[in-house]
Amino acid sequence: MNRRTLLGSAAIALLTATTAFAESHSADGEPLKVGFVYVGPVGDGGWTYEHNEGRLAVEEEFGDAVETVFQENVPEGADAERVMTQMALSGADLIFTTSFGYMDPTMNVAAKFPDVKFEHATGYKTSDNVSNYSARFYEGRMIQGHIAGKMTESNKIGYIASFPIPEVIRGINAAYLAAKAVNPDVEFNVVWAFTWFDPAKEADAATALIEQGADVILQHTDSTAPQAAAQAANENGANIITFGQASDMGEYAPLPRVSSIIDNWSPYYIDRVQAVMDGTWESQSIWHGIDEGMVGIGEISDAVPEDVKAEALEMRDAIAAGELHPFTGPINKQDGSVWLAEGETADDGTLLGMDFYVEGLTGDIPN
């Protein structure tokens, strides 16, 4: 036996031992190990904060029957693959990977660990042991867009975007269509930050937009920095409104934050952990919205006029009841070509792969 074979068999033996160990865990009443991979710190006050709330809800629900582990600030890319592999090797039975950029790393690692279940947030790929789940944030953004369109005085709305992926583009389109519907003069200025989390850059982006006349700031980045920047501008005489993103961000209410879209992952996480415990876990694709409670609308503050608030709440209820779809025709694409005919609503396939602006938005989407 040469050295290479020896090492190889040693590695296989080790792997088998680890797998056997992991299986024996669930069999003899050891706690189910659930891993979470986060893109930002749990204290970001936004996206990662809410995923961590979901993790805490799982602990609360199952007590000693589960053991959760998490890793924060994991860059999207090769590092993510390393972190997931590490989690799987250390005996995790179920791993939630909570950012779009983890999609391919999740698929790669899942292929190597067929006995471990993976759940990827906001992606579109699945396999036997990989599910994906996402929330219909665009439903909440339609409501934000409505309030924004009604309340802007300069008719300039600033939008801090993270990465040019379908989820972000959908949000811009949904907010723009709703704002345009109530205010034909409205104009969107989109700034791409190319980061999910960099408070200083997010604050700079908000400041640049405010200095150029935007009086509403929408964001698709994960920290509360844009709210803080708007608050500072308001102290110097401006009148800016913002919206909480992913989390309520209620500490900035009533101004500048006038409402928010909240991600509520807890029920889903509890469900899926239960499914693994019961042995009923199966790969699936879930896309839930306001109706199922995965997307929540944070309290609309008193800074919003009564009638606008009432319209926004009505809109929320209509979306929940399935009577209103944010993408209902007639809608043209940016280049003027017809996308949806009168009364037609967008199908999920198109929405999931959305890579175009709707008519009226200016600028190009980066590749």
Nearest approach in angstroms of CB 281 to other proteins is 32
| Binding-site member from 47, 62, 243, 252 for other proteins (CB under 8 A) | 252
Among 92, 190, 241, 246, binds other proteins (CB under 8 A): 190
Would you say the C-alpha torsion 285, 290, 294, 297 has a positive or negative sign?
positive
Nearest alpha-carbon partner for 70 in 116, 97, 35, 121:
35
The residues near 237 (Cβ < 8 Å, ≥ 6 apart) are none
194 sits near other proteins (criterion: CB under 8 A) = yes
> CB-hemisphere CA count at 13 Å for 91?
17
Cβ–Cβ under 8 Å, residues 333 and 346: no
Amino acid occupying residue 310: A
How near is the Cβ of 103 to other proteins at its closest, in Å? 21
Q: Among all chains, which residue has been given the structure tokens 């409205």? A: 186
158 or 171: CB nearest other proteins: 158
Looking at the Cβ atoms of 47 and 62, the one nearer to other proteins is 47
Q: Which of residues 13-42 bind other proteins (CB under 8 A)?
A: 40-42
To other proteins, the closest distance from the beta carbon of 158 in angstroms equals 7
| Minimum distance of other proteins from residue 156's CB (angstroms) | 9
Instruction: Return the residues of window 170-189 that contact other proteins according to CB under 8 A.
Output: 189
Q: Does 212 help bind other proteins (rule: CB under 8 A)?
A: yes
Distance CA 364, CA 355 (A): 11
CA–CA separation, 62 and 51 (whole Å): 17
Of the candidates 218, 208, 212, 210, the one whose C-alpha atom is nearest the C-alpha of residue 178 is 218
Tell me which residues in 140-159 interact with other proteins (CB under 8 A): 158
Residue 359: CB minimum distance to other proteins, A: 16
Based on the shown chain and the rule CB under 8 A, indicate whether residue 263 belongs to the binding site for other proteins: no
Is residue 168 within the footprint of other proteins (CB under 8 A)?
no
Q: Is the dihedral of CA 12, 14, 16, 18 positive or negative?
A: negative
Angle at 167 between CA 336 and CA 270, to 5 degrees: 150
* Positions that interact with other proteins (CB under 8 A): 40-45, 72-73, 158, 189-192, 194-195, 197-201, 203-205, 207-209, 211-214, 223-225, 228-229, 231-232, 235, 249, 251-252, 362-364, 366-367
